Amino acid sequence: MRVLSGIQSSGKLHIGNYFGAIKQHIELQNEHDCLYFIANYHSLTTVQDPPLLRQLTLDAALDYLALGLKPEKALLFRQTDIPEVNELTWILSTVTGRGLLERAHSYKDKTAKGIAPSMGLMLYPILMAADILIYKSNLVPVGKDQIQHIEMTQDMAGYFNNTYKCDVLVRPEPRLNAFSLVPGVDGQKMSKSYGNAIDIFDSPQSAKKRIMGIKTDSTHVEDPKNPETCNVFALLRLMADENELTKWEERYRAGGMGYGDAKKRLAELYEETFAPFREKRAKLEADPDFVEDVLIMGARKARAIAQQTMHEVREACGLVTATTKTDNF
């Protein structure tokens, strides 16, 4: 089973990305053939500052390695090292109706948030479909917000195979992450672009400040509280074990507990969970050659798969290139 996912290098990763996506990506490396890449072509739709994009691309690689990706088990690479995805994007765009893209939620959500309505933003789902289909991926682990993109990818694989009466492209299935919606400090979905995130690699002081500032309701200390509607409890659920969680639930319902107590414990759990990753990241940061080697090795293997698929795709649609006729081009 081939598993593939991508993460945009468009900002610092937060604990919603971790519990919603990355943790699962890392776990899957023990069971399947996994490919993970940094979607830096996609990032161009929002980041148009070259030094920043370079830094964020490197940061994403450091983050994945620090969080436990093992290069001997899973491939990690940059999207830009597989230029063939752009060719497949074009080919898919010729079999995809405009209506499909006009129905994309992400385009509407992003333009509503003020992101420029470029052609790139509109074509974003086709590039994402090319990312998935070029490796003949079977399973794509993502959060809820990406499900529509996977459904569009299934449609595009069908359009291509039907148009050219072939079965070159493989229909992928989405896999929802265990925690598909982690709330931010304001109770909305945690997101890089909402200013409500708790970063994975924040300093202990600054993370604690963010956690102590989580929005709660105004129930008095002595009154019973509802854990199900509390943002602090939703985050405790991600990091506390079952026993501890049951105790917190009882304390909430019994009353006599202030939200400050739960926040303090959450800050400790954040530290216990992420301090080891922070240390590992600092070591990796001191060894940029190692990180670059991992990315190059990942790209070489991934590109071999992509080139084979593109050979089949070109054959299926009758695209002739000099390289298909001679090796000496």
Closest to ligand ADP by CB, 125 or 143: 143
Is residue 66 near ligand ADP by the rule CB under 6 A? no
Please name the residue ranges forming H helices in the chain.
Answer: 15-17, 23-28, 40-43, 50-66, 84-93, 98-102, 105-112, 119-133, 147-163, 204-212, 231-239, 242-254, 259-285, 288-317, 322-325
C-alpha–C-alpha distance, residues 203 and 215, integer Å: 21
Q: How big is the site for ligand ADP, counted in residues (CB under 6 A)? A: 20
The identity of residue 325, as a single letter, is: K
Is residue 140 near ligand ADP by the rule CB under 6 A? no
Is residue 142 near ligand ADP by the rule CB under 6 A? yes
The count of other CB atoms within 10 Å of the CB of residue 209 is: 12
Residue 80: contacted member of ligand ADP, ligand TRP, none (CB under 5 to 8 Å, by partner type): none
Strand, coil or helix: 182: coil
| 37, two tokens | 């890449």
Residue 132: contacted member of ligand TRP, ligand ADP, none (CB under 5 to 8 Å, by partner type): ligand TRP
Residue 39: contacted member of ligand TRP, ligand ADP, none (CB under 5 to 8 Å, by partner type): ligand TRP
Residue 13 bridge partners (DSSP): none
Q: Give catalytic status of residue 110 as yes or no.
A: yes
Cβ of residue 216: shortest distance to ligand TRP, in angstroms? Answer: 29
Closest to ligand ADP by CB, 2 or 311: 2
Residue showing tokens 């929005």: 215
Looking at residue 187, the DSSP 8-state letter turns out to be S
Is residue 145 near ligand ADP by the rule CB under 6 A? yes
Q: Could you list the residues that contact ligand TRP (CB under 6 A)?
A: 4-8, 39, 42, 128, 131-132, 140, 142, 146
The identity of residue 57, as a single letter, is: T
Catalytic residue set: 110, 189, 192
Interacting residues toward ligand ADP by CB under 6 A: 7-8, 16-17, 20-21, 142-143, 145-146, 177, 179-182, 189-193
